[in-house]
């Protein structure tokens, strides 16, 4: 299978690494430093260039591609790549960072819309269940962005015992509207704010902001209070650091999503092979 991935950051790179052994994988990456890392890590062709440009897509072999994955960090870029690929009648998976954009992707007939935080939430829920077990456990979440909203919506059994701290007032309001939880607007690294949110009575603290330093500090405070913790690490190097410091439940959203997507693609390939066997 020929797979074209546009966007060679953490997510695109992990998907490419997972699929390159059994597929012909080509990656397009605009940033020279990221492209250099892709060349080192991926067993496949890496092209430095702008994946929104038809010339670059054609150089990468889009005309002979079976599947196009638009995995950049920009929704508008991914939509443009997806539309271009659909015009060439290709199957397209596209990453979406802002869930409010899903409708635009669906109207453009994108085959699969990927919200990494949604994939990561499934894994986080399983880890939380393993750590606290009791459905009446009290959970304090620091960071009220997309990851938080996806996690709360996936935590069906724990939803009545969740308190959220979010620094940005606009994000707080959005989280209140979408989760109907108690959201406190403030700095989750401040002890008085954590105490106001009930850290002393929490069974687990999840630090899932966009800032790895904040997440580490919050979880260190929580561990000093004897709390169980889970942390988000945006950078893979930081994930390793967190784990060395003893934070075993550390997650990287892009890696978890990439693993799930690669597995879906492998299952799809297996099913297609089985169907061909049945026909013969």
Please say whether the beta carbons of 231 and 249 come within 8 A: yes
The contacts of residue 114 (CB under 8 Å, 6+ apart) are 93, 94, 95, 96, 257, 261
Q: What is the pLDDT of residues 204-249, one digit of tens each?
A: 999 999 999 999 999 999 999 999 999 999 988 899 999 999 998 9
pTM, 2 dp: 0.87
**Rounded to an integer, what distance in angstroms lies between the CA atom of residue 16 and that of residue 10?**
10
Mean predicted confidence (pLDDT) in 135-158: 91
Note the pLDDT of residue 46.
Answer: 97
Please say whether the beta carbons of 150 and 174 come within 8 A: no
Answer whether residue 279 shows pLDDT above 80.
no
CB neighbours of residue 109 within 10 Å:
10
Within the chain, all domains assigned CATH 3.40.50.720 are found at 2-114, 118-255
Which residue in the block uniquely carries the two structure tokens 């699929």?
A: 19
User: Average per-residue pLDDT in the chain?
Assistant: 93
**Rounded to an integer, what distance in angstroms lies between the CA atom of residue 182 and that of residue 117?**
21
Please say whether the beta carbons of 113 and 38 come within 8 A: no
> At 32, is the pLDDT very low, low, confident or very high (cuts 50, 70, 90)?
very high
Mean predicted confidence (pLDDT) in 73-94: 97
Closest CA to 140 of 74, 79, 200: 200
CATH classification code of 118-255: 3.40.50.720
Q: Which CATH architecture has domain 2-114?
A: 3-Layer(aba) Sandwich (3.40)
Q: What is the pLDDT of residues 89-105, one digit of tens each?
A: 999 999 999 999 999 99
**Rounded to an integer, what distance in angstroms lies between the CA atom of residue 32 and that of residue 40?**
13
Answer whether residue 162 shows pLDDT above 80.
yes
Answer whether residue 159 shows pLDDT above 80.
no
Q: Where are the beta strands (DSSP E) in 30-167?
A: 45-48, 67-70, 91-95, 112-114, 139-142, 162-166
Note the pLDDT of residue 237.
Answer: 87
Check residue 250 and report its DSSP letter.
Answer: E
Answer whether residue 276 shows pLDDT above 90.
no
Note the pLDDT of residue 136.
Answer: 87
Answer whether residue 137 shows pLDDT above 80.
yes
């Amino acid at each position: 299978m020929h797979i074209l991935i546009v966007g060679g950051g953490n997510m695109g790179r992990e998907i490419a690494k997972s699929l390159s052994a059994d597929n012909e994988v080509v990656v397009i990456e605009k940033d020279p430093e990221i492209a250099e890392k892709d060349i080192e890590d991926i067993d496949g062709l890496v092209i430095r260039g702008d994946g929104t440009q038809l010339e670059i897509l054609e150089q990468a072999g889009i005309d002979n591609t079976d599947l196009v994955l638009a995995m950049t960090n920009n929704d508008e870029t991914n939509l443009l790549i997806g539309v271009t690929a659909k015009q060439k009648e290709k199957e397209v998976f596209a990453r979406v960072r802002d869930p409010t954009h899903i409708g635009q992707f669906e109207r453009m007939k994108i085959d699969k819309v990927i919200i990494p935080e949604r994939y990561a939430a499934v894994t986080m829920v399983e880890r939380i269940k393993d750590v606290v077990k009791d459905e009446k456990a009290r959970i304090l979440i620091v960071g009220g962005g997309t990851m938080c909203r996806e996690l709360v919506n996936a935590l069906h059994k724990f939803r009545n015992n969740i308190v959220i701290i979010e620094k940005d007032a606009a994000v707080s309001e959005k989280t209140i509207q979408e989760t109907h939880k108690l959201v406190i607007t403030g700095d989750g690294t401040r002890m008085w704010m954590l105490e106001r949110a009930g850290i002393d009575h929490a069974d687990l603290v999840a630090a899932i902001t966009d800032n790895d330093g904040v997440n580490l500090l919050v979880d260190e405070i929580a561990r000093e209070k004897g709390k169980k913790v889970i942390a988000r690490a945006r950078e893979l190097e930081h994930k390793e650091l967190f784990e060395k410091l003893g934070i075993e439940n550390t997650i990287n959203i892009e890696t978890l999503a990439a693993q799930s997507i690669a597995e879906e693609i492998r299952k799809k390939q297996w099913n297609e092979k089985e169907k061909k066997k049945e026909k013969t």
